[in-house]
Amino acid sequence: MSLETLTSKYITSAEIVLSTMQKNPTPINITTEAVNSLICYVHDYLADAKYYKASGKLETSLTSIAYCEGILDALRLLGAVMFEWPTRKTETNQ
């Protein structure tokens, strides 16, 4: 599957979800078990990204790490976890 086809597929899926999803009343309660389950997905997507990068499948690697980051951002926005993304300056100081 070409990168263009893959990108189109993901865009279409997101558009469908956005047009059909229903919002829950707020505030949203999330259990510790649900947070732990999502963190497992984060680890899995990170492992997938590393695997696909090592296999030379950079598009798939990029997709996997984007999912990983998306879940992390969602957890942070829900207030379930606290972190800051590293900046270039922070990365070079380590």
Spatial distance between the Cα atoms of 74 and 30, rounded to a whole number of angstroms: 12
Confidence of residue 89 (pLDDT cuts 50, 70, 90): low
- pLDDT tens digits along 28-43: 888 999 999 999 999 9
Spatial distance between the Cα atoms of 40 and 71, rounded to a whole number of angstroms: 10
DSSP state of 67: H
- pLDDT tens digits along 36-70: 999 999 999 999 999 999 999 999 999 999 999 99
So what's the pLDDT on residue 26?
77
Q: pTM here?
A: 0.77
Among 30, 48, 29, 28, CA closest to 40: 48
**Those residues with Cβ within 8 angstroms of residue 64's Cβ, 6 or more apart along the chain or in another chain:** 45, 46, 48, 49, 52
Distances in whole angstroms, Cα of residue 21 to Cα of each of 31, 76, 77, 85: 21, 21, 19, 28
Location of structure tokens 């229903």: 22
So what's the pLDDT on residue 2?
82
So what's the pLDDT on residue 51?
96
